[in-house]
Chain A
Amino acid sequence: MSVETPAGSSATGVIHDLGYQRYDGPRLGRRRIVAALAWHSFRSAFGFGRGPKAKILPVIALLALCLPAVVNAFAMSRGNPRLVDYDTYQPVLRVLVMTLFVAVQAPELVSRDLRSRVLPLYFSRPIRPSDYPLAKYLAFTAACLVMMEVPLLLLYGGSIANVHGGAAVWAQTRALIPGLLIGLMWSVVLAAISLFLASLSGRRGFATGAVAIFFLLTFTLSEILLQVENSNLRQAGPVPVQGGPGVQIFVGPAPPVSVAEKVSGLFSPFTLMDGVRRWLGGREEALNVLRPGGFGAVYALVLVLITALCLTGLFARYRKARLS
């Protein structure tokens, strides 16, 4: 309910003596304005500029993702080898936490503005309509990147603190780099899909639901297909080898892989990304056992296609500058 105050009604008993001052300083160009909007959105992805409640989820999500790195550092200090891989990290944890993060925070970036109908105010500023989704996308990709890479860097820091000699540090560094790139891929893809889905609704609940359901449903579907196929093949195939840190282990002659299994990962962004990771030479053992085989390029293609489609959709959403 609105609070009735004097200002609402006959107001103006207030002081008005100081005159109006023109602004003669420098004005930012369009690029700097877009950068300012991106920075503002990036901060809001972590709840800054909002109340304390808005920070709870991003902080918990980031802590959850960092936990394995901390545990690993502790374990390594007791003489164990590195427990967590850079490129897969903790696959299931990462899938769940990142789904939660984008489902809750993507609507924070786009649905709020739709809901409060603030967009006309942006469009009446010296930027172009496409600058708005651009700034949002850059901001959210960066936010996802923080979620993905900070735990990896923590893992790296914890690992090199516990190994000795230049060669060992170099081995850790070499293993880290693909991990960082995988993190970049996740960020680019997840930000595109979740922002597009969230931009479809100004109702935050709907937007969050749409993003969460999309990711979880497709992921479950792909996992079920994988499991069905795997249960037949598991007995025949060789047991996957657990390799040491940074050591690439060739798993020997590939077991017969059915086409059904090869394509079963095509239905979810997460399995798609894992397929691409495998295609690019990543190690085994992530989301169940996904073996894209000769279909690796198809995984990459589908992934690029989905991302491009979502970005096109996102920009189309804002192409027409509406004032009402």
Chain B
Amino acid sequence: MEPSTAARPVIETAALTKVYPGDVTALGGLTVNVAPGITGLIGANGAGKSTLIKILLGLLEPTGGEAKVLGQDSVKDGEQIRQVVGYMPEHDCLPADVTATEFVTHMGRMSGIPGTAAKERAAEALRHVGLHEERYRQIGTYSTGMKQRVKLAQALAGDPRLLLLDEPTNGLDPAGRNAMLELIARIGEEFGISIMVASHLLGEVERICDNLVAIEAGKLLRADTIDSFTRATQMLVIEVEEGTAALLGELARRGLEPRPYQRAVLVPIGGDDTYDAVRDSVASLGLPLSRMEQRRHQVEELFRDEDQREEALDVR
């Protein structure tokens, strides 16, 4: 990631901790730097994504540690942060009985854009999300996909430097998801706005992201560029009709890290020599190989087995 390496992180957190009353730990010492560009924030429900977003917006004070957004402290400079950060919530947040133009104009004004400029920006933002034709219709008459676009447009209205999008593809059909992802990619690449997309679907956001941050139970699992991330999450599934135990031993002897997975064996792919080692192991033991395929971790798996594996890497 050439542009990312030099630029200052848009989000920096250091030992960020949030404990809710009743000893519920939402974030447990999260340290991560997010480079400019599009970043996926991956985590299962309850992993702490929303808490992180609230802290980044300066709406929630962390119990410990600190967070900086575009160089500003989340506790002290919440208002300045919110002036340059656009937020798209996960849930429905649109009134039904106003037109998209009126609504986006109003939200632009709430971001501090004066009257006439807010109107112009609303028209612009709605055009960018592809709602130019329909902008004078009441939002209540829109389809789910169009409503998602209005939510994105209102976040764009304040001319943000950073967008925080919470599950932007929620409730959309596959075609709608693709269109939304394309739109996000375009905003990130062509508009020069950094974006953090929170999602529980790794397979979805990885297509458009430069970087990924994976969290679980309020802790960082991994933060890296998308390339190293995918490499690390690629696994080889090997199934033999008998002799699974022997295969496990042989693979380990050859320096791989095999793990039993249901009736098969999982091996992380390090490079081309992984395939060679597997082939040789199976051949030397003379086992009947019934399946060997490359596949991606499911998000949940990724979360289950990565946490003891290694220190998190900064996205620099």
Interface residues of A (CB under 8 A from B): 2-5, 7-12, 14-16, 18-23, 25-30, 32-33, 36-37, 40, 49-51, 112-113, 116-118, 120-129, 321, 323-324
Query: What are 16 pairs between A and B in contact, CB < 8 Å?
Result: A5-B146, A8-B142, A9-B173, A12-B130, A14-B130, A20-B190, A21-B124, A28-B113, A33-B111, A51-B97, A121-B87, A123-B57, A323-B59, A323-B89, A324-B50, A324-B90
Residues in chain B near residue A25, CB distance under 8 A: 113-114, 117
Q: How many A-B residue pairs have CB under 8 A?
A: 157
B4 interface residue (CB < 8 Å to A) = no
Residues in chain A near residue B98, CB distance under 8 A: 49-50
Chain B 67-111 against A: per-residue CB contact (8 Å), 1 yes, 0 no?
A: 000000000000110110111011111111110001000110111
A4: contacting residue among B86, B92, B143, B191, CB under 8 A: B143
Residues in chain A near residue B186, CB distance under 8 A: 16
B18 interface residue (CB < 8 Å to A) = no
CA distance A10 to B85 in the complex (A): 28
In the complex, residue of chain A having the shortest beta-carbon distance to the beta carbon of B173 = A9
> Contacts A7-B146, A12-B130, A126-B80; is A112 near B95 (CB within 8 Å)?
yes
B219 interface residue (CB < 8 Å to A) = no
CA distance A132 to B204 in the complex (A): 36
Q: Is the CB of B143 within 8 A of A3?
A: yes
Overall SS of chain A's interface: loop
Residues in chain A near residue B176, CB distance under 8 A: 8-9, 11
Nearest chain B CB to A125 CB, angstrom units = 4
CA distance A121 to B149 in the complex (A): 15
Q: Is the CB of A120 within 8 A of B109?
A: no
Q: Is the CB of B175 within 8 A of A10?
A: yes
CA distance A72 to B89 in the complex (A): 55
B244 interface residue (CB < 8 Å to A) = no
CA distance A11 to B95 in the complex (A): 23
Q: Is the CB of B114 within 8 A of A11?
A: no
Q: Nearest 7 CB-CB pairs, A to B? A: A8-B143, A8-B145, A23-B159, A124-B87, A20-B191, A27-B112, A116-B95
B141 interface residue (CB < 8 Å to A) = yes
Chain B 16-56 against A: per-residue CB contact (8 Å), 1 yes, 0 no?
A: 00000000000000000000000000000000001001100
Q: Is the CB of B114 within 8 A of A49?
A: no
Q: Is the CB of A324 within 8 A of B89?
A: yes
Q: Is the CB of B113 within 8 A of A23?
A: yes
Nearest chain B CB to A220 CB, angstrom units = 34
Instruction: Please count how many residues in chain B sit with their CB below 8 Å of the partner chain's CB atoms.
Output: 65
Residues in chain B near residue A124, CB distance under 8 A: 57, 59, 82, 85-87
Q: Is the CB of A120 within 8 A of B93?
A: yes
CA distance A36 to B117 in the complex (A): 14
B231 interface residue (CB < 8 Å to A) = no
In the complex, residue of chain B having the shortest beta-carbon distance to the beta carbon of A124 = B87
> With A4-B143, A8-B143, A116-B96 given, can you name 12 additional A-B contacts, CB distance below 8 Å?
A7-B149, A10-B179, A22-B159, A25-B113, A36-B110, A51-B97, A116-B93, A116-B94, A120-B93, A127-B82, A129-B59, A324-B91
A5: contacting residue among B59, B91, B134, B192, CB under 8 A: B134
Q: Is the CB of A11 within 8 A of B145?
A: yes
Residues in chain B near residue A8, CB distance under 8 A: 142-146, 176
Q: Is the CB of A33 within 8 A of B109?
A: yes
Q: Is the CB of A7 within 8 A of B145?
A: yes
CA distance A49 to B138 in the complex (A): 12
Nearest chain B CB to A195 CB, angstrom units = 18
In the complex, residue of chain B having the shortest beta-carbon distance to the beta carbon of A18 = B127
Q: Is the CB of B112 within 8 A of A12?
A: no
Nearest chain B CB to A33 CB, angstrom units = 6
Residues in chain B near residue A324, CB distance under 8 A: 50, 89-91
Nearest chain A CB to B24 CB, angstrom units = 16
Q: Is the CB of A2 within 8 A of B144?
A: yes
In the complex, residue of chain A having the shortest beta-carbon distance to the beta carbon of B148 = A8
Residues in chain B near residue A28, CB distance under 8 A: 109, 112-114
Residues in chain A near residue B132, CB distance under 8 A: 14-15
B182 interface residue (CB < 8 Å to A) = yes
Residues in chain B near residue A3, CB distance under 8 A: 141-143
B296 interface residue (CB < 8 Å to A) = no
Most chain A Cβ neighbours within 10 Å, of B83, B93, B97, B134: B93
